[in-house]
Amino acid sequence: MTDTKPPLDSATIAEEDDGIRLDRWFKRHREGTPHALLARWARSGQLTLDGKKADVSDRIAAGQKLVMPTPPVETAARPARKGRPLTDADVELATGMLIHRDASAIVLNKLPGLATQGGTKTEQHVDGLLDALKFDGPTRPKLVHRLDKDTSGALLIARTPRAAAYFAKSFSNRSAKKTYWALIVGVPDIQQGEIDLPLAKQPGSGGEKMHVHDDGLPSKTRYRVIERAGNSAAWVELQPLTGRTHQLRVHMAAIGHPIVGDGKYGGKAAFLTGTISRKMHLHSRRLRIDHPDGGAINVSAEVPDHFAASLDALGFDLLLGEVGIDMGEKGPPPKAALKAQAKAHAKQIRKARRGERRGRSAEGKPTDFVGKPKPKAKAKPGKPAPKKPVGKKPSAKKHPARPPRAS
């Protein structure tokens, strides 16, 4: 009886493939192998990792031995889709956004108005610029999360497949911490709190817009008012505790304080008059995530020009933003944060005393710090108060100056 099973092939999982799915490994190293064929091999037990039956969705680890059949007919791999060639301006744009680089990760300070990925009529985007950021890496860098087109700030990119799998897991289990800055219309009544409103795709929007709905997915956002400009606007710090589409924008609009420039969710009410830019004022300020090689990445991204100009126009102090919601979780705060805390406390005291009288009272009597006249010194009982001499002051002749004391 003739054995109809195909001959076996084997491979050892390399370090750069650590953590990826088995079907992804085949796309990289056995191009053209149909997914249906892989599934059939898995069902029949012909795919094994270290001698154990494997499934196409299993995560593989560096050093494992993969045994698989050799396809009877090699299928030519589809040519990779080629984007437009990068120009010198594209390379300059990509490298100009770079704020962190190591063997496993790159962090960009994404510009507002630049899409993270391509789409209909979107020719320039971060994904299309990644070839300019390969440097000496073994493979093309890969996106591991996204920012909205009009949102600026810290965007993490993995330099190896292993790092991509590691970072993806960090985002999915919420161990990565993202902090955003935003300018909002109006001032929340509660200075620091949590927004807990479920979100779902809005019908009729083609999935392009979200809204608050009881049957939506659980969504939570922490916020803190950093500083306010009267009752017209506030500068806030936001932390998404879940990762829903447009979560921060929908949550702030839902509590009546849309992000400045977000006409999609705030309508006409999302724009301030005067010199404040009509661009979106939402910025990914800080990203903290564990590193696959140990330690952590902790990067801050500077605000774009239009955001900085708005903060300045409203009289906000950038130093105050350094005191974060979770400052207590990070150990002793830096000197800049302590200085900001002291400055914020002093500012609150000044506001509380606004309108109170300073200096001297109307009678010209000395006052203390709350504007009350100091009480008169009472004479001791039994001793009359000394009377002031009447007339001219004694002349220097009657009271000659004392000679200097000998040294």
* Residues annotated as part of the active site: 148
Half-sphere exposure of 355 (CA within 13 A, CB side): 2
Query: b/e string for 261-275 if b means 16 or more Cβ within 10 A?
Result: bbebbbeeebbbeee
The position carrying tokens 């093309």 is 140
Contacts of residue 284, Cβ cutoff 8 Å, sequence gap at least 6: 110, 147, 151, 152, 153, 154, 155, 178, 179, 180, 301
Transcribe 7-57 into DSSP letters: PEEEEEPPGGGTT-BHHHHHHHHSTT--HHHHHHHHHTT--EETTEE--TT
How does strand 142-143 pair with strand 210-212? unpaired
CA-based nearest residue to 236, from 281, 288, 295, 171: 281
Show the tokens assigned to 86: 């990068």
Show the tokens assigned to 87: 């120009």
d(Cα 229, Cα 314) in Å, to the nearest integer? 6
